[in-house]
Structure 1
Amino acid sequence: MRFKESSRFHLILFCSLFILLSACGATSNESTSNDGTKKNETASDSTEVEKDIDEEENDVDTDVDEKKDTEAKEAVYKVTPEWFVTPTNDANEKVVLLTIDDAPDKHAVEMAKTLKGLDAPAIFFVNGHFLQDEEGRKQLQEINELGFPIGNHTMTHTDLTTISEEEQKEEISEVNRLVEEIIGEKPKFFRAPFGKNTDYSKKLAEEEGMLLMNWMYGYDWDKEYQEADALTDIMVDSPLLGEGAILLMHDRDWTNDALSDIVTGLQDKGYEMLDPLLIENVNE
C-alpha cells in the first residue's frame, strides 16, 4: 500500500514537472518566435527605409537629368529683322547659321554628309522641281535622315514679285505638299528666291507655319568666287561675318569643294554652327 502511494506520488510529481517544463518551453519558444518576428519586422522596416532612400536618390538623379535637358532646350534663338540670329537667354552668342539653297541638285547629299561629319547643322532649302523624280525624292529623304531641317525655296525659283498671288501660292504650297509626302512633315522655314518676298508670300508662310529666312551674306553666286579657295577665303574672312550671321550657300560644284574648309575656318575663329531647331518659330 505504501509502495503504491509512493509510486502514485512520484507519478504525480513527474507529470507536474513535465507540464511545468512544457509550459516553460512553450513560453520560451513563443518568446523566441516573437523575438524572431520582431527581428523580421525590423529587418523589413530597414529594407523599406533603404528602398525609400534609393528611390529618393533616383528621383534626385532624374530631376538633375530633366533639369539638364530643360536647360539644353531653353537655349533658344530668334531671327532679327536684320537677318541675324540672337539668343533669347544666356546661350552662346558666337554662332553662325549655315543655309544651303537650291537642293537637292547635284551635291546636296554629299554636302549634308560633310556637314554631319563636322558636327555642323544647317538648313537645306529645296526647290520643288528637284522633287518630281525618284532620285530627287531619295536625296531629300537622305538629307532628312541625316538630321537636317528642310526649308521651302519654291517650286521653280521664280521671283515672287513678278507673279500673281495665285501663282505664288502654287509656288509655295506645292513644295510643302511634296516635302510632307516624302518625309512626313512640312518645311519649317521659307526662303523666297533672291530674298524677294511679297506681302502675300509673308502671309502665306505664316499661315503654313514657316519662319521667314533670308541671309546676311553669301558669295557663291558671284563669278569671282566660283572656285573653292576664293570662296573659302571670302566666306571665312568676310567683313560681314559676325555673331549670329546667317550664311547663304548653294548646291554648286565649287561650294561643295569648299564646304569643309569653310566650316573648319569658321570653327577656328571660334564660331559655333547653330542648330536651326533652336530657333524660335513664331509662326508655329
Structure 2
Amino acid sequence: MKFFLVFTVTVMMMFAAACTADNTGVEPNDSNESANVSDEQAGSKTTETDKEKENEEEPGRPEKEEAITDEELRYTVRESDWTVQPVEEGKENQNVLITIDDAPDTYSLQMAHTLKEKGVPAIFFVNGHFLQDEEGKNHLKEIYDMGFAIGNHTMNHVSLNNVSAEETRQEIEQLNDLVENITGEKPVFFRAPFGINTDESKAVLEENEMIWMNWTYGYDWEEEYMEADALTNIMVNTDLLVHGANLLMHDREWTKEALPHIIDGFKEKGYGFIHPDQIDIN
C-alpha cells in the first residue's frame, strides 16, 4: 500500500513538472522571437521615417543626384570655344557650367534658390548698378551665402571698346571692391558685357589674377526664345551643346521659369555640373 502511494505521488509530481516546463520554456521563447522581429521591423521603419523627416525639415537641401559634380577634376577655360575642360587630358567631361548674367537685377535670387534646391552650382555675374541700394546688396549677399560664385560683369555694363583704359580699370576694380565689401570676397571670374574684351581689360584681369570667360552659347536675349518652353528646348537640345559647355543665361523672367526644366533636361541627358571652385587660372 505504501509502495502504491509513493508511486502515485511520484508520477503526479513528474506530470506537474512536465506541464510547468511546457508553459515557461516554449511559449515565452516563441513570444520573444516574435517580439524581436517586431522590434527590428519597427526600428527599420523608424529609421526610414526619420530620414524622410530630415529631408522634409531641410527645404534647401540639394536633391540626391548621382555625380552632379566630380570634385576631383580641375578645369581650365578654353578660349577657342569658351568651354571648360579638364586640366588632365583624357578625363571624361560630360559636364556643363551654369552662369547667370546681370545679377542681382530682379530674378537672380529666385534663380539661386532653384539652383540650390536642385544641388547645382553656378556663377552669378553681377553689375554694380544693381548694388546701389540695400535690397540689391542684401540679394547679392544671400546668393553668395548660398554658396554661389560671384563674377564681375563691370560696374555699369558698358562696352569696353568704347571707354578709355582708365575707365576700363574703374569698371572692373571698383566692382571688385564693392563685391568684396558686401560678401567679404573679391570676384575671381570676369565676363565682359557683350563679350567684348580689349587689351586694356585683359591687362587688368592679369594684374588682379582673374579668370576671363565668355560663353559657349546662350539664347535668352533672342525674341523667339523669350518664353520658357522654347528656351528650355533650345538650351538642352541645341547642336552647340558639347562637353564642358559654358552656358550663358540672364536675370530674366522667362529664364527663371525655364531654369528648373533646363537643369532637369541636362540631368536626363546624363550631364553633370561643373563647380566654379574647380576652375583654375590658365
Matches for 1:1-284 after TM superposition, within 5 Å: 74-81=72-79, 82-89=81-88, 91-282=91-282
CA contact (8 A) 1:76 1:91 kept: no
Partners of 1:73 and 1:233 in 2: CA distance: 29
Give the SS at the match of 1:142: helix
CA contact (8 A) 1:96 1:271 kept: yes
Give the SS at the match of 1:125: strand
User: What letter corresponds to residue 235 of structure 2 in structure 1?
Assistant: M
Partners of 2:94 and 2:119 in 1: CA distance: 16
Partners of 2:249 and 2:150 in 1: CA distance: 15
User: What letter corresponds to residue 75 of structure 2 in structure 1?
Assistant: Y
Partners of 1:113 and 1:207 in 2: CA distance: 34
Partners of 1:73 and 1:231 in 2: CA distance: 29
Q: Which residue number in structure 2 is paired with residue 68 of structure 1? A: none
Partners of 1:160 and 1:76 in 2: CA distance: 30
Partners of 1:135 and 1:272 in 2: CA distance: 33
C-alpha displacement of 1:73: 5.8
Q: Which residue number in structure 1 is paired with residue 48 of structure 2? A: none
Give the SS at the match of 1:105: coil
Partners of 2:126 and 2:206 in 1: CA distance: 18
User: What letter corresponds to residue 159 of structure 1 in structure 2?
Assistant: S
CA contact (8 A) 1:161 1:198 kept: yes
Partners of 2:134 and 2:208 in 1: CA distance: 26
User: What letter corresponds to residue 115 of structure 1 in structure 2?
Assistant: L
**What 5-or-longer segments of structure 2 have no aligned partner?**
1-69
User: What letter corresponds to residue 195 of structure 1 in structure 2?
Assistant: G
Partners of 1:232 and 1:75 in 2: CA distance: 28
Q: Which residue number in structure 2 is paired with residue 19 of structure 1? A: none
User: What letter corresponds to residue 191 of structure 2 in structure 1?
Assistant: R
More helix by share: 1
Give the SS at the match of 1:85: strand
CA RMSD in angstroms comes to 1.1
User: What letter corresponds to residue 132 of structure 1 in structure 2?
Assistant: Q
With normalisation by structure 1, the TM-score equals 0.72
Partners of 1:232 and 1:100 in 2: CA distance: 15
C-alpha displacement of 1:256: 0.3
Partners of 1:215 and 1:226 in 2: CA distance: 19
Give the SS at the match of 1:236: helix
Partners of 2:262 and 2:205 in 1: CA distance: 30
Structure number with bigger Rg: 1
Deviations 1:180-226 (A, max 9, x none): 00011100100000000001101101111210011010000101100
**What 5-or-longer segments of structure 1 have no aligned partner?**
1-71
C-alpha displacement of 1:92: 3.9
* CA distance 1:199–1:270, change in 2 (3 Å): same
With normalisation by structure 2, the TM-score equals 0.73
